[in-house]
Amino acid sequence: MTVKVRFAPSPTGKIHVGNVRTALMNVLFARKAGGRFVLRIDDTDLERSTKAFEDGIRADLSWLGLNWDDSFSQSARFERYAEAAEQLKAAGRLYACYETEDELERKRKLQMAQGLPPVYDRAALKLTDAEKAKLEAEGRKPHWRFKLTGAVVEWDDLVRGPTPIDTSSLSDPILVREDGSYLYTLPSVVDDIDANITHIIRGEDHVTNSGAQIEIFEALGGKAPAMGHHPLLIGADGGKLSKRLGTLSIEGLREEGVEPMAILSLLAKIGTSDPVEPRHSIDALVADFDLGKLSRAPARFDPEELNRLNARLLHETPYAAVKDRLAALGADGGEGFWNIARANIERLPQAADWMAVVSGEIAPVVEEADYLAQAAEALPAGALTAASWGEWTNALKEATGRKGRALFLPLRLALTGRPHGPEMADLLPLIGREKALKRLRGETA
Ligand code: GLU
């Protein structure tokens, strides 16, 4: 049996770190098993789904390197869903209901007032053909509910272990609306059957749904795939992540210059007991991956942790891997430059700031003009090399009696315009004599 999994986003918005974590788990699961990964676009909601969101999802996944072996959209498969609905009707498992939203709401309120769970009372099952005809003559159109068995459905969840859902505590789910449109529930099952999906890996918010869907798989003559429901992401403060999801869209992170592998390295590990470490390829994440390692508690997503991981990843990144992107940023200063700059940036675009220090223009920060003038006089003759900084500052130390911060900081501020950064011994040869002398005089150079 070839493992086949799917990621099934609805193109009704941008994808964010929470969706991508689900996609990543599916990709890692497939790769580990030598299986296939399918991208399914859940666009049965024709009003809210847009082509632009779909394109965005594909672009984001591609940027992350989460490539799919196969892809299809639910909107191309309405005929199959209609067939499945007919099959369920013929088997007496899909029944017509005529209550309006208001009527249903009233029933729920009444049940709650009596201390009963707000489960649909199946009144529609008792309607005679004549009563249905009368309702339809009044202009009512039916919506269609799936008749659950009322049994306890249990599966051995890949994350949660044995998971029982008592379907007698659920309302029969509506599969088809009055206007003939499908809710997500039935199309998903039909697609999983037709695409031979072997494992469904998705968020914990679908657990109850799975109880009903397993019964639909069986009612259609199939067998439900194996299932794994992972706990959802929460914010670093333990609060809901959804409030900040706007800023945690993949598009947003890409625009901010975050590395795809920093995002994936973090998402692969949070919620497990494995340490969070930078990994440079998806393949490097596969070996450690195991759904059984996921804790049952929600996973905390901390943007600060992402920043730190991004910095660590860049510090280990070889020049060849970023050369083209550096060039696009106007920050390709060669391998020597990258090896110096990379330990001092959190995001790749910041390399451009160091590029300006070595070969662009900066406004020097002048704190002690006299000292800087003396330093300019003492700059070693000839080409500046890796040894020049040591020679220069030793000479200044002797001449001025300065040491430590008082000796070094004014030079750094003048030469780089900032108080921290790479070793000055490394930077000085790249800055060169001409710029160094100008900056020591306080001139923009
Ligand atoms: N479109 C559904 C969602 O995003 C898919 C759930 C599933 O994986 O079945 O929640």
What average pLDDT does range 200-214 have in this prediction? 97
Burial of 391 (0-12, 13-18, 19+ CB in 10 A): middle
What average pLDDT does range 325-354 have in this prediction? 97
The dihedral built from the CA positions of residue 372, 377, 383 and 385, taken in this order, carries a sign that is: negative
What whole-number distance in Å separates Cα of residue 437 and Cα of residue 41? 60
Question: Three-state SS string across 342-375, please?
Answer: HHHCCCHHHHHHHHHHHHCCCCCCCCCHHHHHHH
Indicate whether 236 pLDDT > 90. no
**What pLDDT, on the 0 to 100 scale, is given for residue 386?**
95
Q: How confident is the model at residue 424 (pLDDT cuts 50, 70, 90)?
A: very high
**What pLDDT, on the 0 to 100 scale, is given for residue 319?**
98
What whole-number distance in Å separates Cα of residue 431 and Cα of residue 427? 6
Q: Which ligand 1 atom sits nearest the alpha carbon of residue 213?
A: 9
For residue 142, how many other CB atoms are within 10 A of its CB?
A: 19
**What pLDDT, on the 0 to 100 scale, is given for residue 245?**
57
Probe target for ligand 1 pocket from 158, 184, 216, 229, with the most ligand atoms within 8 Å of CB: 184
Q: 99: closest CA among 169, 177, 168?
A: 177
Percent of the chain with pLDDT over 70: 99
What average pLDDT does range 357-369 have in this prediction? 96
> What are 97-117's pLDDT values in tens digits?
999 999 999 999 999 999 999
Contact (CB, 8 A) for 156 and 162: yes
**What pLDDT, on the 0 to 100 scale, is given for residue 156?**
98
| Ligand 1 contact via 191 beta carbon (within 6 Å) | no
Indicate the pTM of the whole model: 0.93
| Ligand 1 contact via 184 beta carbon (within 6 Å) | yes
Q: Which ligand 1 atom sits nearest the alpha carbon of residue 192?
A: 9
Residue 17 tokens, joined? 């770190």
| Total length of the chain | 445
> What are 2-27's pLDDT values in tens digits?
999 999 999 999 999 999 999 999 99
- CA–centroid distance, 194 to ligand 1, in Å, is 17
Indicate whether 246 pLDDT > 80. no
| Ligand 1 contact via 8 beta carbon (within 6 Å) | yes
Helix residue spans in 7-166 (DSSP H): 17-32, 51-64, 78-90, 101-113, 129-137
Q: 203: closest CA among 398, 8, 2?
A: 8
- CA–centroid distance, 229 to ligand 1, in Å, is 11
> What are 269-300's pLDDT values in tens digits?
999 999 999 999 999 999 999 999 999 999 99
Probe target for ligand 1 pocket from 10, 39, 159, 191, with the most ligand atoms within 8 Å of CB: 10
User: To 10 degrees, the CA torsion angle through 203, 204, 209, 215?
Assistant: 90
**What pLDDT, on the 0 to 100 scale, is given for residue 242?**
63
**What pLDDT, on the 0 to 100 scale, is given for residue 241?**
74
> What are 124-155's pLDDT values in tens digits?
999 999 999 999 999 999 999 999 999 999 99
Q: 4: closest CA among 181, 245, 216, 226?
A: 226
Q: Which residue reads 């009368």 in tokens?
A: 134
**Which protein residue's CA is at the shortest distance from atom 3 of ligand 1?**
9
| Ligand 1 contact via 393 beta carbon (within 6 Å) | no
Indicate whether 232 pLDDT > 70. yes
Helix and strand element counts for the chain (H, E): 18, 12
Q: Which ligand 1 atom sits nearest the alpha carbon of residue 10?
A: 1
Indicate whether 244 pLDDT > 90. no
**Which protein residue's CA is at the shortest distance from atom 4 of ligand 1?**
9
Q: 369: closest CA among 436, 414, 405, 409?
A: 414
Q: How confident is the model at residue 239 (pLDDT cuts 50, 70, 90)?
A: confident
Q: Which ligand 1 atom sits nearest the alpha carbon of residue 200?
A: 8
Q: Tell me the three state secondary structure of residue 279.
A: coil
**What pLDDT, on the 0 to 100 scale, is given for residue 235?**
87
Q: Which ligand 1 atom sits nearest the alpha carbon of residue 205?
A: 10
Q: Which residue reads 């209550």 in tokens?
A: 99
What average pLDDT does range 28-36 have in this prediction? 98
**What pLDDT, on the 0 to 100 scale, is given for residue 324?**
98
Q: Which ligand 1 atom sits nearest the alpha carbon of residue 42?
A: 1
What whole-number distance in Å separates Cα of residue 66 and Cα of residue 58? 9
Q: Do β-strands 199-203 and 226-230 pair in parallel, antiparallel, or remain unpaired?
A: parallel
Probe target for ligand 1 pocket from 26, 206, 229, 245, with the most ligand atoms within 8 Å of CB: 206
